[in-house]
Structure 1
């Protein structure tokens, strides 16, 4: 499914593009998968009804963790993304020894329906189960057939250190590799897709093993817009404490969106 030959034949160019990108390291790879196979997978995408856990900071966003169960093509994609061959490619591009979480904890198929949005945020840093796995990379594969800029929903990224930002278009078969760090925000503005069309993507995460923790473990940190309600701003400020308290008593719900 993944165009391994292209990646392996262009490793040096991809590495330079990733490391030198602004506002922080990221990489755009078009035609990431075999077009015919990915189109067949896309035809099998159901309309999802499992609402995102981030509903206070997102609108009309739905998820399915085990997307590999949908069809053989998605299973092939899942296996390619978690393979040693792909891990070697990511390690070269990022200049760090990293690997994709083979269980894709917290990732999966994401679907934004009418007027969907996702507030800017920092993702969790250390894996909730494997406590010394540090999240180094988001891998976002977009499945938006015939996408147009007026549909909106482009991936917005922002560096908290400099306030520099960029917006990346999200057409079909585009993979975006995005560095994860304490300053790498991302999200997307309200969409304007035609009726019956959804902002669709597959999220995968890559990690590095840390012998010593370099940051305080956190869940998601949210950064609502200036015109957000006072309630949302207060919730964002206290979100980490509230989630940790909930998880202590009820466990994490991240892996439940099957």
Structure 2
């Protein structure tokens, strides 16, 4: 499913592009998958009804964690992404011993319907189940057929250290590999896709094993817009504490959704 030959033939160029990108390391790969197979996979994408658990920070966004069950092409993609061959490629490009979570905790098929949005945020840093796995990368494969810039939904990234930002286009069969760090904000503004079209992506995450915990473990940190309500800003400020308290007594809803 993945165009491995292209990746392996261009490793050095991809590595340079990733490591030198601004405002922080990221990489855009067009034609990431075999086009014909990805078209077949796209044709099997259902309308999702499992709403994101990101409360008020994600608008009209739906998810399916076990996307590999949808069709053979998605199963092949899932297996390719978690393969040793792909892990070797990732480790070379990023110059770190990274590997894809074989169970894809928290990832899956994401579908943004009418007026969908995702507030800027930092992702959780340490894996909730494998406590010394540090989240190094988001891998986002976009399935936006016939996407146009005016539809919106660009992946917005921002460096908290410098306030530098960028807006990355999200057409069909584009993979964006984005560094996860304590400063790498990302999200997307409200979309205006035509009726019957959705902002669609496959999210996968890669990690590095840490022998020593170097950061305080966190869940998602949210950064609502300046014009957000006071209630939303207060919720964002206390989100980590509230989620940790809930998980302590009721368990992780994300873990249960695998």
TM-score normalised by length of structure 2: 0.99
Aligned residues: 258
* Equivalence map 1:43-192=2 (5 Å): 43-192=43-192
Offset, 1:97 = 0.3
Offset, 1:55 = 2.5
What is the CA–CA distance in structure 2 between the aligned matches of 1:32 and 1:143, rounded to whole Å?
Answer: 11
Residue ranges of structure 1 left out of the alignment (5+ in a row) = none
SS of equivalent to 1:102: coil
Q: Which runs of 4+ in 1 moved over 6 A?
A: none
Distance 1:15 1:181, change over 3 A: same
Q: Is the 8 A contact 1:63 1:257 kept in 2?
A: no
SS of equivalent to 2:55: coil
What is the CA–CA distance in structure 1 between the aligned matches of 2:53 and 2:178, rounded to whole Å?
Answer: 22
1:21-62 superposed Cα distances (whole Å, 9 cap, x missing partner): 000000000000000000000000000000001121010000
Q: Is the 8 A contact 1:111 1:199 kept in 2?
A: yes
Q: What does residue 14 of structure 2 align with?
A: 14
* Equivalence map 1:162-241=2 (5 Å): 162-241=162-241
1:147-187 superposed Cα distances (whole Å, 9 cap, x missing partner): 00000010000000000000000000000000000000000
Q: What does residue 39 of structure 1 align with?
A: 39
Q: What does residue 255 of structure 1 align with?
A: 255
Residue ranges of structure 2 left out of the alignment (5+ in a row) = none
SS of equivalent to 2:139: strand
RMSD over aligned Cα atoms: 0.6
Offset, 1:255 = 2.9
TM-score normalised by length of structure 1: 0.99
